[in-house]
Structure 1
């Protein structure tokens, strides 16, 4: 039996990362049902229950070393683990896991990573060493290839693929409809979903979203639904925006599963997202989307499907956002079909991450 260990931001109830893990496990099980997988998690019990997979605590070095010794491959990813924009400490943690793998001679695959930006000479030097001592690297966008090139990471096979979540299968819309009914959201009126996050306690983007949401209610007769991708943090951010609004809005206040979130998005007429995986869910479910950037990964994803961000958290305007909403509102089916066609290609690339990992294990054995 082949064994792999997966390291990432798992167990922290971030819907995007949990979706990533779900998608990875789904593809690996389809390709090799006998594969044994252990996940390094901040909450092993949560990960075991949610994903039906073995898990060890992310701070238990002894347990991590034990599973790595038995593993044929350490998968670091997916996600934006190797960057120090959103967090300086997390970069060193994930490099620490790579170090433990090297310590017990377990091959490393950087899996569908969004690489960088990485600031600081020491951090870049470390990243160069770990990158060049990996067995295989896949990145989820072409800008990450440029980052690897600037870091002078050239030794392992490197390929641009796609975010692992894009390999996940679309889900039935029934559970989303049931959640909307329980939340008193009408299924006969249009629904605009908004996925927000707190960012440095900035107020500008909250003011803009509050005004835009009010306009959408009054001018488009839409219902506004705030959907948490990280629970409960995103609920708090949504409450701050709703407090600024004059029109009613609904905040969903549960820790939903990946399938439930995808089903909710599938029942929406439009998704406005700050969270990357809210936008990816929209793509998978064929829902028109508008992205607001706080991190290069948002720009990179939208670029991969030939779309642009409407602005970033500092400079987004009511006028620009309403203009984009109106454009997509009046051409929903065109954007829906357009996104589904583009996603089909990315789905194949996303699956190739797992295919390359298993091919490496087979050759290495």
Structure 2
């Protein structure tokens, strides 16, 4: 029986990262149902319960070394683990796990990573040194590939694939419909979902979203629901924006599983998203989306499906956001064949991550 250890930002109630883990597990088991997976997690008990896999605590290095010593592969990813914009400590942590695996003689794969930006001189040196020790790299976009070249990580083979979540199957919309009904969201009026995150205590984008949401309610007769992706952090910022609105909106209060979030998004007529994986969930469920960028990964993803963002958290205006929403509103009842084609191509690439990972074991 093959055993894989997976390292990433897991066990922190971040719906996007948990969705990536769920997608990785699903794809790996699709190929090899007998495979054994152990996840390095911030909350091992939650990871065991949520995903049905083994788990060890992320700072318990002796236990990590023990499970790694009996494994055949370390997967690092997916997500934006290797960057020093939000924190350089996390970059060094994930590099240390890779170094441990190499010291134990294990192959290491960077799995569907969103690389960079890596800005610090020391961070760039560490990334170049350890990055060139790994055995294979897959990245989720062209920008990440270019960042590796800039960092002079050139020794391992590099493949441009796609975010693992794009390989997930669509889910039954009834699950989300039931959650919405529990919170008073039922009826024939169009439903617009908003997924936000806090960022540096900025307030400009919150006022923009509140004003735009009020206008969408007035103009389209729509209902507005805020869907938190990282709980409880996103719940708080959602409530702040809803509190600035003149019209009534709804903030979903719960912590939801990947399947529940996919189903909720599938019930929307349109999604406005700051969180990357809210936008990816919309792509999986074929829901029109308007993205607001806070990080290059948003721009990169939207470009891969032939879309564009409607402003950054600093520059977005209500007029620009509403202009993009109006464009999407006219096409929401029609199939955007080009977008669907792009998403299907990405779906195949996303599954390729698991195939490449298992090729390292074979």
TM range (shorter): over 0.9
Contact 1:286 1:337 survives alignment (8 Å): no
2:9 alignment partner in structure 1: 9
1:37: which partner in 2? Answer: 37
Give matches, 1:1-365, under 5 Å: 1-334=1-334, 336-362=336-362
1:138 and 1:29 map into 2 onto residues whose CA distance is: 19
* TM-aligned CA deviation for residue 99 of structure 1: 1.6
Q: What do you get for the CA RMSD once the two structures are aligned?
A: 0.9
For the residues of structure 1 that align with 2:111 and 2:333, how far apart are their CA atoms? 34
* 1:342 positional shift: 1.6
- TM-score if structure 2 supplies the norm length? 0.99
- Structure 2 CA distance for aligned equivalents of residues 10 and 268 of structure 1: 27
Shift of the alpha carbon at 1:338?
Answer: 3.9
Write the deviation string for residues 298-319 of structure 1: whole angstroms up to 9, x where unpaired: 0000010111110000000011
CA distance in 1, matches of 2:65, 2:268: 44
Measure, in 1, the Cα distance between the counterparts of 2:144 and 2:211. 35
1:336 offset after TM fit, Å?
4.8
Q: TM-score w.r.t. structure 1 length?
A: 0.98
Unaligned runs of 5+ in 1: none
User: Following the alignment from structure 1 to structure 2, what is the Cα–Cα distance between the partners of residues 336 and 207?
Assistant: 31
Shift of 1:337: 4.3
Aligned length: 362
Report how far residue 359 of structure 1 moved.
1.0
- In the TM superposition, what whole-angstrom CA distance separates every residue of 1:171-196 from its partner, at most 9, and x where no partner exists? 01000110111110123110000000
Q: Mean alpha-carbon deviation: is it higher for 91-100 or for 31-40?
A: 91-100
8 Å CA contact 1:328–1:335 kept in 2: the answer is no
Q: Deviations over 1:272-304 (max 9, x none)?
A: 000000000000000000100011100000010
- Higher mean alpha-carbon deviation, 127-136 vs 97-106, is at 97-106
- Whole-Å Cα distance in 2 between the matches of residues 333 and 142 of structure 1? 31
SS, match of residue 37 in structure 2: strand
Secondary structure of 1:243's counterpart equals helix
How far apart, in 2, do the equivalents of 1:192 and 1:30 lie? 34
Give me the whole-angstrom Cα distance separating, in 2, the residues matched to 1:250 and 1:162.
Answer: 33
Structure 2 residue runs without a partner (length 5+)? none
